[in-house]
Amino acid sequence: MEIDDELLELALTHRSFAYENGGSPDNERLEFLGDSVLGKAVTVMLYTENPGLDEGQLAKLRASVVSSVALAEIARTIGLGDHLLLGRGEERTGGREKSSILADAVEAVIGAAFLSAGGEETDRFVLRLVQPLLDDPDRTGAFVDPKTSLQEVAARRGAGLPVYSIESSGPDHSRVFVATVTVGTLVTATGTGTSKKQAEMSAALDAWSALVRRRRHSPTA
C-alpha cells in the first residue's frame, strides 16, 4: 500500500532523533493512533473468523498478536529497524534491535498508513502483517508468555531450566536492560528492553525460536 512519504518518515522518527534535531516531531502521536487501529483490525478479524472461541480465548489470542514482543518480531521480519531515525545515544546502545522501539515503530507505521489510505486498506495491511503469527499456533502462544514456552520446550528436550542473567546501562530515566538466557548446552540468546521483564521476554522468545527451529530441522525430532 502507498503511505505518504512525510508521514512514513515521521513514523520512523524516534524521539531521541527528534530531540537531537531541535525538538522536531517524533512518531509518538502516530504510535498512539496506530495502536487503536491495530487493536480494532485484529479484534474484528478474530471475532469474525473464530465463532467457536469465547471472550477469554479471544482476548488471549488478541493479546498475543498485539503484544510488544509480537510487534517487535514483525518489525524484524520486515527489516523495519534498518530504516529508523535514531539519536546518537540510541544508535550506540543498539536501538535498532530494541523490542520497545521496534514495536512502537510498527504501531506508528500503521498510524501513518491509516492517515494515508483510510481504514479499510489499512485493516488489510494490518492483517497481512499479523497473519504469519496466526498461522503458527505454537509461536502465537510463545508471544503471550515466552518464558513459560521456553521452559516447556527446554523440558521436552531434557535441557533443564533456562538460566537468565541481566545487565543494564544508561541513566535512570532511560535505562536499557540486556538479558541473556542459556538453555543447557543447546542455545544462548540475548534480548533488550526498557525493563528487566521485557528484556527477559525478548531473550526467551529468541531462545524458544532457536530451539523450535532446531527441532523442526532435526531428522530425529
Backbone angles phi, psi at 52, to 5 degrees: -85, -5
Cell 473464530: give the residue.
Answer: 50
Per-residue pLDDT tens, the chain, 221 aa: give them.
899 999 999 999 999 999 999 888 999 999 999 999 999 999 999 999 999 989 998 998 898 889 888 898 899 889 999 999 999 988 887 888 888 899 999 999 999 999 999 999 999 999 999 998 888 776 777 777 889 989 998 998 888 899 999 998 877 777 888 899 999 999 998 888 878 888 898 889 888 888 877 665 454 44
Q: Which of 26, 35, 73, 123 is catalytic?
A: 35
Using CA atoms, how far apart are residues 187 and 146, in angstroms rounded to an integer?
15
Annotation-wise, does 107 bind a ligand?
A: yes
Backbone angles phi, psi at 131, to 5 degrees: -55, -40
* CATH 3.30.160.20 residue spans of the chain: 145-214
Active site residue 107: yes
* 192: helix, strand or coil: strand
- 191 strand-pairing partners: 179
Annotation-wise, does 104 bind a ligand?
A: yes
Active site residue 6: no
Report the topology of domain 5-136: Ribonuclease iii, N-terminal Endonuclease Domain; Chain A (1.10.1520)
Strand order in the sheet with 187-193: 163-169, 176-183, 187-193
pTM of the shown model: 0.77
Cell of 184: 543447557
- CATH label, 145-214, candidates 3.30.70.270, 3.40.605.10, 3.30.160.20, 3.40.50.1820: 3.30.160.20
Q: Which of 26, 73, 90, 107 is catalytic?
A: 107
